[in-house]
A = this chain, B = another copy of it.
């Protein structure tokens, strides 16, 4: 199968399993929930089809991914999802995302962005201490893509794809505006001028800024 570092070291062994190109990005995709092959290809944007197939095979062999055929009424679709061991990679993805986000330039022109990438991105921003005693939900919609909810419940927080019923804050904006608003580079007034739509009380928006701050520089 794949090559190995052949070292008795937890890090080396982890990289033997998920260190090859595209593997952790596939994990990122699956952290948003089960996905079918073409959805994965779409979310990975530029991954060659043969590599995706190869990686999915390896990840199944390594017990990270499970392939399942949904017994749908109409047509049977096959989806991939993380195994329990694969889900444990969430902490790894969070730390890498946190580290990378610090030096991620605001928006280098034309780089694609997908809404479900917010799932690990928001997890990386989450500040548990700021969330103590707070229980509410925020909804973010970027570039008109599928909305993402962030559910705060007294010190814990979780991001999930999909619209939220009665969010404390509902924010819709393009990527640049969202990034600059959350970093404090622009204020709410300026964001609205740029076409953002913001619902909810100012206090809730302030809490959200504290609970999901941008990466510290």
Contacts and interface: CB of A to CB of B under 8 A. Distances in A.
A63 to B, nearest CB: 8
A111 B8 contact: yes
A92 B102 CA distance: 14
Contacts of A19: 19, 21, 24
Given A10-B97, A96-B92, A103 B85 contact: yes
Number of copies: 2
Contacts of A85: 102-103
A99 B5 contact: no
Interface stretch (A48-56, A113-121, A133-141, A182-190): A113-121
Interface string A108-146: 100111100100110010000000000000000000000
A10 B122 CA distance: 10
Given A6-B111, A25-B5, A121-B9, A14 B97 contact: yes
Contact of A100 (B15, B21, B28): B15
Contacts of A215: 10
A152 interface: no
Interface string A1-40: 0000111111111111101010011001000000000000
Contacts of A111: 6-8
Given A21-B19, A24-B19, A95-B92, A100 B13 contact: yes
Contacts of A102: 85, 88
Interface of A: 5-17, 19, 21, 24-25, 28, 45-46, 85, 88-89, 91-104, 107-108, 111-114, 117, 120-121, 124, 175, 215
Given A6-B46, A89-B99, 14 more contacts: A7-B45, A10-B96, A10-B100, A11-B24, A11-B28, A11-B93, A11-B100, A12-B100, A13-B103, A14-B97, A15-B25, A91-B99, A92-B92, A92-B99
